[in-house]
Structure 1
Amino acid sequence: MTLKSSLAIAAGKSSYWFLHNFMHGGTSLPGKITLSIDPDVLQDLAKNYEIVIITGTNGKTLTTALTVKVLEAKYGAVLTNPSGSNMKQGIVTAFLTNKKGKNNKKIAVLETDEANVPIISEYIEPVAFVLTNLFRDQMDRYGEIYTTYDKILKGIKMHPNATVIANGDAPIFNSKKLPNTTIYYGFNQQADEEQMAPANTDGLLCPKCQQILHFKNRIYSNLGKYYCPNCGFQRPELQYQVDQLLEQTPQSSIFKIDGHQITIHIGGTYNIYNALAAYTIGSFLNVEPETAVNALSDPDSKVFGRQEVINVDGKEVTLILVKNPVGLDQVLQMIKSDQEPFSLAILLNANYADGIDTSWIWDGRFEDLPFDKIPAILTGGERYRDITFRLRVAGVPEENFEQKKDLEKVLEKIKGMPTKHVYVLATYTAVLQLRKMLAQQGYIEGGMD
């Protein structure tokens, strides 16, 4: 370790200690300070760790949290970036904590922004890359899904000895041959039935012959048991699979992975994929099935903004991050299955972290919402006019509809909504802003910096 890197690490650890203990923050600033002194410091920080990189469009944060729970159940403390600060400075901050597990075993599970995979890969030696899915997201930052995948592959190709753990239901992850050993996970919970995806679904062309893919089992969007009737391209063999769906509600899911029954205390089919990925990573790192099942079934498995249920003056406010069409549609599908009436607030910002382009809201199927079961609907955030117009086009009843740009007024309106359960769908910076207000008013402990 050089003198420069030693000074950088000392400065970073000091700033982390102060921010963490006195400001209840410190997710990225310590990393920025450390990198400003030594831009190559990550190479020293990451030495002697078994590192798992988790990336993809949706599910990175929860997959990371669930994976950490699974690994901690066997190995003790695991280093991670739990706040979702997933660019280089956030990952450097995570390593400043220098966590060690049982017998000084050092494991790091890192949520990594797709575009940062090649940046991070220059400095670390991962044992595995985990690929959750790729959907159209923040077009101003990433471009099309094929461009994003090329960025990820650039990082993977630096480490041909690392194992790739990929969602086998996503055609794009089977589109290019890699020297890496690849483990695929996916769904096999129902009998084959010939079907096709809607025409506006992304990633429906066969990567070999450019014909439209068909499905024998489609889960959502372009995920499922796909095949090309023209050239024979098809889903690879799955090593780990959801083989039975037993029960789904907006608050939980019960299912089986390779015959092992698991209950996760969070709704949505997309979150079953996240649990399946965590189970697969655990098995790769020698966690026994029973240990993984117990860890995943722990009721305390939620992370900020991912279906947090916050008690606000007796109301159950469920805060859900939305950021792209596929994720939004899955959330809408989940909440509309609620058997009880509920209120709904949708908060739209368009900062860099959210994606500046808000056109994605037009791909969400708001028209499918059961407006007769939603006695109060509220829009807010910096781009509240955009989401207000979108909901008017979807047919929201005007008598149940309010708009408030200011989030303090949004929070006051939420407190007065007529139902016990309120769903709040919000983009990333709106989640941060709302959580900060909830912390200031004593409803949760700490905000996010």
Structure 2
Amino acid sequence: MSLRSGVATAVGKSSYWFLHTFMHGGSSLPGKLATRIDPELLKTLGKNYDVIVITGTNGKTLTTALTVRVLREKYADVLTNPTGSNMEQGIVGTFLHAKRSKTGRPLAVLEVDEANVIKVTQYIKPIAFVFTNIFRDQMDRYGEIYTTYKKIIDGVKLAPEATIIANGDAQLFNSVDLPNPKIFYGFNHQEQGDMMAPTNTDGILCPRCEHVLHYHFMTYGNLGDYFCPNCGFSRPALNYAVTKLGKMTPTASQFELDGAPYQIGIGGLYNIYNALAAYAVGRFLDVTPEQIRAAFTSDERVFGRQEVIHVGDKDVTLILIKNPVGVNQVIDMILTEPEPFSFVGLLNANYADGIDTSWIWDGEFEKLGAAGTGDNPQIKAFLTGGERYKDITFRLNVAGVADPSVEPDLTKIIAKIKQLPTQKVYVLATYTAVLQLRKQLANDGLIKEGMDA
């Protein structure tokens, strides 16, 4: 370790200790301070780890959490960044507060922002990349989906020996010829047919001839068993697959992987993809199917991903939303709730959320409007808030929700939630709104303070 990296490490560790001792959190500032002193510190910190990079638009945090659970069934020492601090400074911070390994060469499973993959691979050569999906998201940062994928590929090209473990149902991940070894996962749960994607679906042009892709079946968004009737481009053979879907509720999903039964304690078809990705990583590193099944049964919740928080007599489920495909999957998931519930929508537009809120108009909020009408509506009450409360309120109005309650001040949202008429409450919130709400919940003693909780 050079003098510069030694000083940078000392400053980073000291700031981490101070923040977590006296300020109850802080996951990115130590890394920011350390990299100002030594911009190449990540090379020093990560050189003794076998690193797995998990990236993509949706599902990074849960895929990372499930992958860590799976790997800890076999490996004693697995480092990760559990709070979703997935840019360079957050990743440096993760290494800074890692405990010294006692088992030789440990694993590091890192959630990495798409644009930051290259900031990792210029210093660290991972043993594997995991690609979840690519959807339109935060266009002020990323642009179109092809631009987003290029940012990822630019980083991957610096590590040509790393294995790519990719969602085979996403055609972009099969569109660039790379020298890396490849493992594909996806769904094989339906009989083959011939269908086209719904109107307004992104990413359905053949990367070879630009003809509109057809599908033998679709799961959601642009994902499925695709093929081009013009040039023959098609989905690659899958190494690991969902072969059957079972019972689906907001709190559990049953399914089969390669013909064997599994269950995770979280709802949504999209989360089965996350579990499948974790399964693929586990098999890549020789974790047995029995060990993976045991890992999936953990009821540990993940920050902002269907956390259930008890607020008075309410069971409040907190769910992060950030783009049309994601919010549509969340809407479909909460509508599997068998009991009446209340809906809370919190919309911010800071840099971490994406400053352009026009994406809400591509979300299928009309399903919520339909579920909140009639003689016996499933949704008994609607509440909106956040810095862009006017936008989300108007969007619900257009979707058929005539008069939602409105609370612009997020510090008062908890009091409003306590007044809702149902025991079950689903809160859909953008990233900084999740942070602000969790801070208020911590202040009220309803959860542990700080993001690391």
TM-score bucket of the superposed structures, by smaller chain: over 0.9
Q: What's the Cα RMSD here?
A: 1.1
2:160 match: secondary structure: coil
Structure 2 matches for 1:243-392, cutoff 5 A? 243-300=243-300, 302-369=301-368, 370-371=371-372, 372-392=377-397
Aligned to 2:122: 122
Structure 2 matches for 1:186-201, cutoff 5 A? 186-201=186-201
Q: Distance in 2 between matches of 1:145 and 1:98?
A: 34
Q: Is the 8 A contact 1:248 1:254 kept in 2?
A: yes
Q: Deviation string for 1:155-193 (max 9, x for gaps)?
A: 001111000010000011001110001100000012112
Amino acid at match of 2:295: A
Q: Deviation string for 1:177-233 (max 9, x for gaps)?
A: 100011000000121122211120000111111111111110001100010111111
Structure 2 matches for 1:29-428, cutoff 5 A? 29-99=29-99, 103-300=103-300, 302-369=301-368, 370-371=371-372, 372-398=377-403, 401-428=404-431
Q: Distance in 1 between matches of 2:447 and 2:335?
A: 26
Q: Is the 8 A contact 1:78 1:100 kept in 2?
A: no
2:421 match: secondary structure: coil
Q: Deviation string for 1:285-305 (max 9, x for gaps)?
A: 1111111111012122x2111
Residue 336 of structure 1, CA deviation: 1.2
Residue 36 of structure 1, CA deviation: 1.3
Q: Is the 8 A contact 2:131 2:167 kept in 1?
A: yes
Amino acid at match of 2:136: R
Q: Deviation string for 1:129-178 (max 9, x for gaps)?
A: 11000000000000000001111000001111000010000011001110
Q: Distance in 2 between matches of 1:256 and 1:438?
A: 37
- In structure 1, the gaps of 5 or more residues are none
Amino acid at match of 1:161: E
Amino acid at match of 2:383: L
Compute the TM-score of the two structures, normalised by the length of structure 2: 0.97
Aligned to 1:439: 442
Structure 1 runs of 4+ aligned residues shifted over 3 Å read 99-102
Amino acid at match of 2:23: M
Q: Is the 8 A contact 2:132 2:167 kept in 1?
A: yes
Amino acid at match of 1:325: P
Q: Distance in 2 between matches of 1:168 and 1:56?
A: 13
Q: Is the 8 A contact 1:79 1:100 kept in 2?
A: no
1:220 match: secondary structure: coil
2:195 match: secondary structure: coil
Aligned to 1:24: 24
- In structure 2, the gaps of 5 or more residues are none
Residue 100 of structure 1, CA deviation: 5.6
| Pair 53,241 (structure 1): closer, same or farther in 2 beyond 3 Å | same
Q: Deviation string for 1:376-432 (max 9, x for gaps)?
A: 10110000000111100001132xx21110012221110110000000000000000
Q: Is the 8 A contact 2:384 2:407 kept in 1?
A: yes
Residue 375 of structure 1, CA deviation: 1.4
Q: Deviation string for 1:94-133 (max 9, x for gaps)?
A: 0012346662331100000000011111010100011000
Q: Is the 8 A contact 2:48 2:105 kept in 1?
A: no
Q: Is the 8 A contact 2:313 2:423 kept in 1?
A: yes
The number of residues matched between the two structures is: 446
